[in-house]
Amino acid sequence: MSHNPDTETFAGNPSNRRRGSAYFNTLLARPESPALLFLILLLVVFSVTTNGFFSASNFLGILEQVVIIAIVGLAVNQVILSAEIDVSVGSVLAVCAFIYGNIAMAYGGNLLPLFAALAVGTAIGFLNGVLSTYGRVPSIITTLGALFIYRGLILLLAGAQVLNVPKSSRVLGLSDLAGIPVSVIVLTVLTAAFYWVSNNTNWGRNIYAVGGNESGANTLGLPAYRTRLIAFVLSGSACGLAAAVFLGQIGQLQATAGTSFELRVITAVVLGGTSIRGGRGSVFSPIVGALLVGVILNAMTLNRVPGTMELFVLGVLILLSVSSEGLRQRYLEKKI
Amino acid sequence: MPDVSSPSSRRLLCALRNVSKHFGNIQACQDIDLELYSGEVVAVVGENGAGKSTVSKCLYGLYSPSRGHVEVNGKPVAFRNASDGEKAGIVMIPQELDLFPELSVVENIWMGLERPRYWHGAFNSSAMERRARQLLHQLGLIVDVTTPAKLLSAANGKLVEVARALNANAQVIIMDEPTASLTEREVSNLFSVVRALKRSNVAVLYITHRLEEVFEVCDRTVVLRDGKMISDRPADQETEAGLVKKMVGRPVEQLFVRHFHEIGDVVLEVEGLHSGSTFQDVSFQLHKGEILGISGLIGAGRSEIVETLFGLRDRTAGTIRLHGEVANISCVREAFDHGIGMVPEERRTLGLILPFSVKNNVTFSSLLRFTRGIFIDTAAEDKFAEKAAREVTIVGAGLDDPVSALSGGNQQKVVVAKALARNPRILILDEPTRGVDIGAKSEIYRIIDGLAKQGHAVLMVSSELNEILAMCDRTLVMREGRLVSSFDRKDFSPDEIGSAAAGVAVNPSVA
């Protein structure tokens, strides 16, 4: 096709930036990079200032601590990217843990309870998703309802039950491979899988499209409902997997387990740079966010800061990160 | 322009056969028969609400017709959604930019399409980028394809949408008012793209309000009125006046309304106004009873100036004087208090609360007028809204209906009525007639004229040169954040204003 050679008007300002600076800007423009920079800074500062912080065992400890939040965060991140929200994961995690625990106590083993927990989590996620999309109920309402319903069910049906899971059924929480906890390996594999799927499947790309510009997505005929439904389903399944790790780590369970877990997950996602409005964020956001929280809480413990400070610190962190994001966006708009 | 396509290459690509669409008991379009051949540009004109967008939505599959069917390559098809239409080669480019703001240009060009993959299943991003660069090169656009779409200008965004349509192997491209947010120069570049599409045997369905475009770029014109097809004729057999007559179904009235109005003292004086890097050193005066235009290309800083005057944007230097006294306007409330009203550029996002009723939209920025103690005097509010709606002739919905039910032109009148509700002495209009049909346009001009006659001062930002030429007493021209010249009405010349805005020397044809 021939074209008008008058390219000047169309071109605006073609960028003639130097390669290095362009690379730097691209890196800086990534949603998770401020949190990552802050994380690295904290790692350096704590390594210098805090006794016992800089050691392999402490780092593995931190990883183990954040692994449950990170697993569920990976999936909830996709829900938030699609401009929906899932606040039910605390209760869903507890339901899945009860399923896991009961089946492990009745039949033993690891795979059967894991599959049962995954199946139940997936089913709950599916229900949340169908209601929030085809059912046209706003997802904040659907999942708020789910948060109460599933917690209520546990209190009703198993309020007095005390679960003690046999050691043989706690592989995901206790065992390690070559010195690395199995749960951390699971998280790594899962992160890689999410990264691949997000970049290399239509669903992964559609999530950003649907969350970033819904009317645009409709004009192109993208399957908005199905895209979001899959994110909700993944969120439920992730709760099933996280429940197995959770029970594996602590071994016993009460009806109040996982209370306010959903808020920690959302905290990790948002701290990691995913916009709560959807459409903007990275697969790595929940990982970086969860690590940030884990590192800060660990350093607080090592420095004997009372645990009662925890919530206060988390709150300040959220407000700081979100307000600094606005400033960063302004800077980037000038730069690019 | 010579038509290179021989008659034999003229191939029927798709057609609407006897298509009707109704929503409940509202008939949006009725018995539409339209054929599209390869390599032709077909204009669809009509007033707002005439059924232009319904017809196009039936064609690309967003709506399924209530009666009749769509035909592609001679076979009837039943699209279930827009992506079915796209697979059949019919792609829509909507009026408002519909890109995905956070995603890169490459991602936007491939969104919803089959992306190339490596043998191991991963998306082949380098092939995707290569294709994107190639398409943009064809369209004469040079941008970094990894730039997020939110950083593109309106004109470049439009071209990215065209690139995506080409990437979808479009045989038929529907363009809904593609030039609505482009400047004259960008428009002429878009036209060369449309002509290139035509040469490559793509059919373009071109929906527009600007009739001069019809004659510049279209081969055939289809006129719709009240959901029915009024005519379908070659463009060279039509005249602008004839089209307007068919569109409105009544004799053409004068579009622009302008009466003599007396110009009084200076009411607003701006001196050395800066706002960061968006505009610098802007000085001008606005008089009582004057209509002052601000002309220029998009991105020249015009909207930013009026936003600063209205307190929506911080100024970094300069003074604003109102009636000779320095005014420190740092927020909208202060602008209101100084008697400044504004009709913003984007009526759907900035001007209206769409689910609210017409009445609430008209009164909601001036509720204090109807407040007794802490309660709103609804009777007074009703009375006021009724009077305001009558003055600006809002038609198409009752006062209590949501404003979203109105056509674009009538929505715009609601925004004007809202701005007038505070009885401003200075009214700022930012693109007051964008995306508005001819009838409503004329009404808006009548309102502007009436305001000037009553002694209000009007500051009008507009990309439509005709509008500036016909309505203004004086116009300022902006380029790249600076005020480059100013013309009095007696010196108005489209060429000089255009070239001042574009920064090109006037062709010295006389010298």
B211 touches B46 (CB < 8 A): no
pLDDT the model gives residue B62: 87
Residues contacting residue A336 through CB under 8 Å, at least 6 positions apart: A25, A29, B147, B148, B151
Min distance A279 CA to chain B CA atoms (Å): 7
pLDDT value at residue B4: 44
For chain A, the average pLDDT equals: 88
Cβ distance A73 to A289 under 8 Å? yes
Cα separation, B257 vs B450, in Å, equals 9
pLDDT of amino acid A20: 56
Residue B505: predicted pLDDT = 52
Task: Tell whether B175 and B114 lie within a shared domain.
Answer: yes
Answer whether B432's CB lies under 8 Å from B412's CB: yes
Sheet holding B291-296, edge to edge: B340-343, B426-430, B457-461, B291-296, B474-479, B482-488
Phi-psi region of B346 (alpha: psi -120 to 50; beta: other; left: phi over 0): beta
| pLDDT tens digits, A176-209 | 898 899 999 999 999 999 999 999 999 999 999 9
> Hey, are the CB atoms on B98 and A219 less than 8 Å from each other?
yes
Distance CA A104, CA B370 (A): 68
Q: Which of residues B221, B248, B275 is at a domain's end?
A: B248
| Domain CATH code at residue B174 | 3.40.50.300
Closest-CA residue of A relative to B185 is: A9
Q: Are strands B375-376 and B75-77 parallel, antiparallel or unpaired?
A: unpaired
Of B264, B269, B280, the closest CA to residue B326 belongs to B269
Shared domain for B313 and B288, answered yes or no, is yes
Other beta carbons within 10 angstroms of residue A88's beta carbon come to 30
User: Which one of A220, A274, A275, A331 makes the best mutation probe of the B interface by having the most chain B beta carbons within 10 Å?
Assistant: A220
Residue A209 touches partner B, C-beta closer than 8 Å: yes
**Domain spans in chain A, listed from the N-terminal domain onward:** 55-335
> Closest Cα to residue B100, out of B108, B92, B112?
B108
Flag whether residue A3 sits within 8 Å of chain B, measured between CB atoms: yes
DSSP B323-338: TTEEE---SHHHHHHT
Is B284 in a helix, a strand, or coil?
strand
Please state, in angstroms and rounded to a whole number, the distance separating the CA atoms of residues A309 and B76: 69
* Together in a domain, B374 and B397: yes
- Chain A residues touching B304 at Cβ < 8 A: none
On whether both B353 and B470 belong to a single domain, the answer is: no
CB proximity list for A168: less than 8 A, separation 6 or greater? A108, A109, A110
| Cα distances (angstroms) measured from residue B409 to each of B77, B248, B402 | 34, 14, 15
Nearest to B123 among A199, A221, A280 (CB): A199
Of B287, B282, B329, the closest CA to residue B301 belongs to B282
Report yes or no: A316 at the B interface, CB cutoff 8 Å.
no
Most B CBs within 10 Å, among A15, A17, A208, A213, to test the B interface: A213
Identify each DSSP E strand in chain A by its residue range.
163-164, 176-177, 180-181, 252-253
Asked if residues B65 and B58 have their Cβ atoms less than 8 Å apart, the reply is yes
Q: Check whether residue B84 and residue B146 sit in a common domain.
A: yes
The string of pLDDT tens digits covering residues A21-48 is: 666 767 777 888 888 999 999 999 999 9
- Give chain A positions within 8 Å (CB) of B151: 333, 336
Give CA–CA dist B438/B49, Å, rounded: 12
Is some CB atom of chain B closer than 8 A to the CB atom of A19?
A: no
- Match 């038509």 to its residue by tokens: B3
B18, B32 in Cβ contact below 8 A? yes
CA angle B165, B166, B168 (to 5 degrees): 65
Q: How many domains does chain B have?
A: 3
Please list every residue in chain A whose beta carbon sits closer than 8 Å to the beta carbon of residue B141.
Answer: 7, 10-11
B241 and B150 within one domain: yes
Q: How far apart are CA B139 and CA B109, in angstroms?
A: 13
Q: How far apart are CA B161 and CA B173, in angstroms?
A: 11
Closest CA–CA distance from residue B80 to any residue of chain A (Å): 10
Q: What is the pLDDT of residues A117-141, one digit of tens each?
A: 999 999 999 999 999 999 999 999 9
Q: Does A16 touch chain B (CB under 8 A)?
A: no
Does the distance separating the beta carbons of A196 and B140 come in below 8 Å? no
- Choose from B63, B81, B87, B142 for mutation: most chain A CBs within 10 A: B142
Residues of chain A found within 8 Å of residue B155, distances taken between Cβ atoms:
9-10
From the list B92, B192, B199, the residue facing A219 with the nearest CB is B92
The contacts of residue B119 (CB under 8 Å, 6+ apart) are none
A304 — contact with chain B (CB < 8 Å)? no
Where in B364-481 does DSSP place strands (E)? 371-372, 375-376, 426-430, 457-461, 474-479
Predicted confidence at residue A126, as pLDDT, reads 98
Q: Which residues in chain A have Cβ-Cβ distances shorter than 8 Å to B142?
A: 7, 10-11, 14
Name the more confident of A55 and B26. A55
CB pair distance less than 8 Å for A7 and B142:
yes
Q: Which residues of B touch A195 (CB under 8 A)?
A: none
Low-confidence ranges of chain B (pLDDT < 50): 1-8, 506-511
**Cα distance between residue A212 and residue A207, in whole Å:** 8
Where do we find the tokens 């199995």?
Answer: A182
Residue B180 Cα to chain centre, angstroms? 3
Residues B184 and B225 in one domain: yes
Half-sphere exposure of B51 (CA within 13 A, CB side): 26
Strand order in the sheet with B220-225: B90-93, B172-176, B203-207, B41-45, B220-225, B228-234
Interface test with A, best of B53, B81, B103 (most A CBs within 10 A): B103
Q: What is the distance between the alpha carbons of residues B268 and B247, in angstroms, rounded to a whole number?
A: 41
**Subunit contact A3:B192, Cβ cutoff 8 A:** yes
Main-chain phi, psi angles of B214, to 5 degrees = -55, -45
Q: Which residues of A67-78 are buried (b: 16+ CB within 10 A; e: fewer)?
A: bbbbbbbbbbbb
Six token digits for residue A240: 């099933």
ipTM over 0.90: no
Q: Name chain B contacts of A221, Cβ cutoff 8 Å.
A: 61-62, 81-86, 112
Q: Which residue has the higher pLDDT, B174 or A222?
A: B174
Residue B192: list chain A partners with CB under 8 A: 3-4, 6
pLDDT digits (tens, 9 = 90+) for A278-334: 999 999 999 999 999 999 999 999 999 898 888 898 899 888 888 887 777 777 665
For chain B, the residue count is 511
Short-list A252, A248, A282, CA closest to A268: A282
* Same structural domain, B334 and B466: yes
Distance from C-alpha of B160 to C-alpha of B177, rounded to nearest angstrom: 16
B277: chain A residues, CB-CB within 8 Å: 334
Residue A58 and residue A52 in contact, taking contact as beta carbons nearer than 8 Å: yes
Contact A220 B186 (CB under 8 A): no
**How confident is the model at residue B376, as a pLDDT?**
77
In this prediction, residue B441 carries a pLDDT of 83
* Same structural domain, B218 and B173: yes
Backbone φ and ψ of B509, nearest 5°: -70, -30
Are A208 and B156 within 8 A, CB to CB?
no
Q: Kindly state the tokens that stand for A139.
A: 């997802």
Q: B17 and B122: one domain?
A: yes
Whether residues A334 and B155 touch (CB distance < 8 A) is answered with no
User: In the structure encoding, which two tokens stand for residue B445, read together?
Assistant: 């001009």
Contacts with A5 from chain B: Cβ below 8 Å:
140
State the virtual CA torsion across B481, B418, A213, B57 in degrees, nearest 10. Answer: -110
B435, amino acid identity: G
Torsion (CA) B222, B225, B231, B233 in degrees, nearest 10: -30
Nearest-5° angle of CA A256, CA A260, CA A262? 120
The SS3 of residue B449 is helix
Q: Give the Cα separation of A186 and A135 in Å (integer).
A: 34
> Is B204 inside a domain boundary?
yes
Are B98 and A215 a contacting pair at CB < 8 A? yes
Residue B410 belongs to a domain: yes
Which chain A positions have a beta carbon within 8 Å of B101's beta carbon?
212-213, 279
Query: How many other C-beta atoms lie within 10 A of the C-beta of residue B56?
Result: 22
Contacts of A79 (CB under 8 A, 6+ apart): A85, A86, A139, A228, A231, A232, A234, A235
User: Which residue blocks in A53-138 are alpha helix, DSSP H?
Assistant: 56-81, 89-107, 111-132
B197 contacts in chain A (CB < 8 Å) = 1
Q: How far apart are CA B181 and CA B176, in angstroms?
A: 12
* The pLDDT of residue A335 is above 80: no
Asked if B379 and B320 sit in the same domain, the reply is no
| Residue A9 confidence (pLDDT) above 60 | no
Is residue B328 domain-shared with residue B394, that is, in the same domain?
no
The residue type of A141 is I
**A215 to chain B: nearest residue by CA?**
B98
User: A25, A333 in Cβ contact below 8 A?
Assistant: no
Q: What's residue B333's pLDDT?
A: 85
CB contact under 8 A, B197 and A212: no
DSSP strand pairing (B203-207 vs B41-45): parallel
Pick the CATH number of A55-335 from 1.10.8, 1.10.10, 2.30.230, 1.10.3470: 1.10.3470
- Looking up tokens 């919530």 gives A311
Total residues found in chain A within this entry: 336
B445 inside domain: no
pLDDT tens digits for range A238-266: 999 999 999 999 998 888 888 889 999 99
Min distance B283 CA to chain A CA atoms (Å): 25
Domain range spanning residue B120? 13-248
Question: Is A12–B143 a contact, with Cβ atoms under 8 angstroms apart?
Answer: yes
* Residue B441, in any domain of the structure: no
Chain B closest-CA separation from residue A6 CA (Å):
7
Closest by CA position to A272, among listed A74, A119, A111: A74
Check CB contact under 8 Å for B138 and A4: no
Q: Residue B334: inside a domain, yes or no?
A: yes
Cα B108 from chain centroid? 22
Q: B385-393 long-range CB contacts below 8 Å, 24 or more apart?
A: B385/B358, B385/B359, B388/B362, B388/B417, B388/B420, B388/B421, B389/B358, B389/B359, B389/B362, B389/B414, B389/B417, B391/B417, B391/B420, B391/B447, B392/B416, B392/B417, B392/B420, B392/B443, B392/B447, B393/B443
pLDDT of residue B405: 74
Q: Least CA distance to A274: which residue of chain B?
A: B102
What is the C-alpha separation between B296 and B484, in angstroms, rounded?
A: 10
